[in-house]
Structure 1
Amino acid sequence: MADGKLVRDLIPQIIRAGGGEPMAYVASPDEYRRRLRHKLSEEVSEFLAADDSAAAEELADILEVVHALAIDLGMTLRHLEELRAQKAEARGGFAGRVVWTGNA
């Protein structure tokens, strides 16, 4: 991947408002998809390293990337939620805190 990183859409404007001159470009569709996947990994790492006071913000960042990935894959957020709900219906969620240790 070339230098740089995928940032939120308003970051160049925020930099300009602060007196800076951002250097940025719009990624091609293929580069965008690769960078979104990399961004997801980056955001998950930040979440895992965050303490409880910062975890909610990091989780929101992950969700933003997940939404962008779903849209990039041609899915609506409603369809993504339907898939999540179907999996939860068929296999459950994680609220039960079940830890599997193997089969007897």
Structure 2
Amino acid sequence: MKKVIHKKLVRDKIPGIIRADNAEPVTRLLSEAEYRKSLLEKLVEEAIELRDSDADIDERADVAEVLRALDRAFDYSAEQVEQARRLKADRRGGFVDKVFLEEVIFENETPRD
């Protein structure tokens, strides 16, 4: 018998897929606080997979799925997220111009936090 430890949030149908492969998943349901934390960890996991795949569309879809779940878990509407995005873009810009910051040189000043 072989055991593989995962300790991570998985998509809803994964336990059934594992059973169909003649293996037995050991799962538990998360509390709301655990769920939110696990979603944030899953977002990092999926973002790394997206980066490492050179922006494969399936990996991008995984990131989108996690973001939707985060919106539900934190009770954010699509409109709220879009409004916050728009406000931040108005204040700080977007990523259209492809600006890559190499360094900042301060002369006789202390950088602000």
TM range (shorter): 0.7 to 0.9
Task: Tell me how far 1:91 sits from its aligned partner.
Answer: 2.1
Which one has the bigger helix percentage? 1
The one-letter amino acid of 2:76's match is M
In structure 1, what is the Cα distance between the partners aligned to 2:77 and 2:23? 36
Corresponding position: 1:9 with 2:12:
yes
Partner of 2:25: 22
Q: 1:1-104 maps to which residues of 2 (within 5 A)? A: 4-52=7-55, 55-100=56-101, 101-102=103-104
Structure 2: runs of 5 or more not aligned: 1-5, 107-113
Return the offset for 1:81. 1.9
SS at structure 2 position matched to 1:95: coil
TM-score by length of 1: 0.76
Identical-residue share of aligned pairs (%): 40
8 A contact 1:71–1:77 mirrored in 2: no
Q: Distance in 1 between matches of 2:87 and 2:57?
A: 25
* Cα distance in 1 between the residues matched to 2:21 and 2:100: 48
What is the aligned-residue RMSD (CA, Å)? 2.4
Equivalent pair of 1:43/1:62 in contact (CA under 8 Å): yes
Distance 1:103 1:68 in 2: 41
